[in-house]
Chain A
Amino acid sequence: MKGISRRRFLAASLAGGAATTLSVTKEAWGASSFDGYPDGMGVLVDLTRCVGCRSCEAACNKEQNLAAPAEPFDDMSIYDKRFHGQKRRTDENSYTVVNRYEKDGAKPVYRKIQCNHCNEPACLTSCFTSAYKKTKEGAVTYNSKVCVGCRNCMVACPFAIPAYSYSSAFNPEIKKCVFCHETRLKNGQPPACVDACPQEVMTFGRRRDLIKIANDRIRTRPGRYVDHIYGEHEVGGTAWLYLSDRPFEEVGFDTTLSKEPIISNVKGFLSTVPMVLAIWPALFTGFHLLSKKQDHGHGEHAHSAQEEDEK
């Protein structure tokens, strides 16, 4: 399996190849201003509805066939635990986790984290081997067959989502939420967490419709929400959107992110230290992968080209 896909890779890069090899320049990235697929799906998460029951975590575990947690999902003591002084994060066996945020006198706020499925994913742009792909349905998927385990995506992700799998030493693998793309999303179904939630914290629909719904909720229920949809513009927009009744920075959101997609930063980074990027993949997989990376920079075309590649 692996051999075949590598070979296909080689063929593809030979075709588009020689001209672009090693010319990791600004121009190569220039054309990219991708607003996400117009019909892409998304999820609106309304923090005011969440009661912290962790049904979403259990549903994700089941859907993705992950290992059982040490304590069952109805164990609420997890909210009091800290890991290296931090609240819980996603890892190779939990693609989504819920954390609790408390404040004196206010009722606790629960916040689910998982991949936000950016319109212009930093993981994707930081990946040499095109292991990531933004599907037309809106998911950011990952292909372990071509991943070389460089972990650039883990550094690049503004939400610290991709997790490294230590369970297979020889087969590097990143684990993260994939929007249940294979099992559900591509068939028009919502992800498992959405279906499981008793409180309908999550609303599934086209991203553009969700923004209207979110604005309507803010408008028709004055005083209930902070007047902001997190993810509408952050890092160029994400498929997962959030409403909250507490300032977002108080409930664990990074409110310092710019409206620019991370790709722009990567662009700057590339032009200053191209060699870092040039050498890494060369070491791991050989030069042909570089030209593959080149395709990437052209945004929309690259996305669809990529899709065809994998069919």
Chain B
Amino acid sequence: MDDAVSVRDLVVERGRRRVLQGISCAVPRGTVTGLLGPSGSGKTTLMRAIVGVQRVSAGTVTVLGRPAGAADLRRRVGYLTQAPSVYADLTVRENARYFAALHGRDHAHADQTVADVGLAGAAGQLVGNLSGGQRSRASLACALVGDPELVVLDEPTVGQDPVLRADLWARFHAMAAAGTTLLVSSHVMDEAGRCDRLLLIRDGRLVADDTPAAVRASTGVTDLEEAFLRLIKASEQEASS
């Protein structure tokens, strides 16, 4: 199958630490792929390498058939940073319209995207006055507004209530059904079950790259949280022996 992202032997050093230690993985087109792992395991770093803002020490990252960070990819890839990166001194609508303009989209499209993330009622509010969850949805709207072919979302559902989370996941699947590829990082294990594929990393190494069903089957437990704990424990034993 055709992959939207393929990563080979990727090594990244940040400061003096080797944060990614030779990761190889792929994200198939038109899927929602979950990126999971303990805090500090390198999820954000891997996503930064895929969108082309991370300096890498070795390995290759290919995105939509081009080397990551290539100029023409910038109109085809959308990136949601982990910390909301929107202008606090602009309204939600003004933020979305600005990012829409960068992608050549009009105001109506921007306003629609704001409504899609459930912020129609707060569109005229300054981002600085929003709640944490609203602010991260404003940031999400700005990542989606260019209709990118590949969407890289770093913890998009943090701080959202269960209803909104369900809405957002439904939207992600609708986008995937329409051909968009999504890579979504998360801490929440019940979200792992909603993904088509899972990438589990620990300490900068890939521990699992499979479908949720296969992860359950290989570990012999139905609860994904438990399955991940087992996989991580097994990888720790492997590392220490």
Report if A and B associate in a common complex: no
Chain A contact residues, CB within 8 Å of chain B: none
Chain B contact residues, CB within 8 Å of chain A: none
